[in-house]
Chains A and B, each alone.
Chain A
Amino acid sequence: QVQLQESGPGLVKPSETLSLTCAVSGYSISSGYYWGWIRQPPGKGLEWIGSGFHTGSANYNPSLKSRVTISVDTSKNQFSLKVTSVTAADTAVYYCARHSYGVASFFDSWGQGTLVTVSS
């Protein structure tokens, strides 16, 4: 059974870079699927941030594209998210998820989520 676990700082200062990692167990990242990041600001709905593939390709939410990078590390079986120039609006619970895209499309396995607060 695939399991995902997010890790990273819970507090980031405004204008700095938010960095999170998602460790995957029970499934080899290089075997397929996209690997996505989704966030939920306090009291708001879910927002897709982007999804990456083990080949290095990635797709991003147009509203965040200029500040976001998703990379996949097959040697460590993990993938990561970087968001630059953060503001209070980036405060959210960040989830990583396995993302099927193509024959069938869904986010079927999720991490427990990690709260990132942007504050000085």
Chain B
Amino acid sequence: QSVLTQPASVSGSPGQSITISCTGTSSDVGDYNYVSWYQKHPGKAPKLMIYDVNKGPSGASNRFSGSKSGNTASLTISGLQAEDEADYYCCSYAGSGIWVFGGGTKLTVL
């Protein structure tokens, strides 16, 4: 069982926006601004999309944005495209040098 809770699946049509939630506790997501998000296509390595809650790595698409409220972080993808269909994972620092991932969310572009 993953420490961070994500919905198993979300879906949206091309051009729409979707949001994926990542719920932790006051000991991880709620206590640190060290939440990152990863996109993973089958058979491929994960790709960093957002770090430190809401920062985008250089070269990343600005259609991806992140936020946090209390113990829940969120990833929003705007202007959905077919290539956005993938699994998405959140990750948070949990103190004492420990990191935790969410269970992953499968995004389907209809």
Instruction: Write the residues of chain A forming the contact surface with B, with a CB cutoff of 8 angstroms.
Output: 36, 38, 44-48, 51, 59, 61-62, 95, 97, 100-101, 104-108, 110-113
Q: Contact check: which of B2, B40, B98, B104 meets A62 at CB < 8 Å?
A: B98
Can you list 20 A-B pairs, Cβ within 8 angstroms, ordered by A?
A: A36-B99, A44-B103, A46-B46, A46-B104, A48-B99, A48-B101, A59-B97, A59-B98, A95-B46, A104-B55, A106-B36, A106-B48, A106-B51, A106-B57, A107-B36, A108-B57, A110-B45, A110-B47, A112-B44, A113-B45
Return chain A residues, CB-CB under 8 Å to B102.
45
How many pairs of residues, A versus B, come closer than 8 Å at their CB atoms? 64
Q: Contact check: which of A46, A59, A107, A112 meets B48 at CB < 8 Å?
A: A107
The reply on B38 being an interface residue by CB < 8 A is yes
Q: How far is the CA of A111 from the CA of B102 in the complex (A)?
A: 20
Q: How far is the CA of A40 from the CA of B54 in the complex (A)?
A: 25
Interface size class of B (residues with CB under 8 A): 20 to 34
Closest 10 CB pairs of A and B: A59-B97, A106-B51, A110-B45, A105-B34, A45-B104, A46-B101, A48-B99, A45-B103, A106-B36, A108-B48
Return chain B residues, CB-CB under 8 Å to A110.
45-47
Return chain A residues, CB-CB under 8 Å to B109.
none
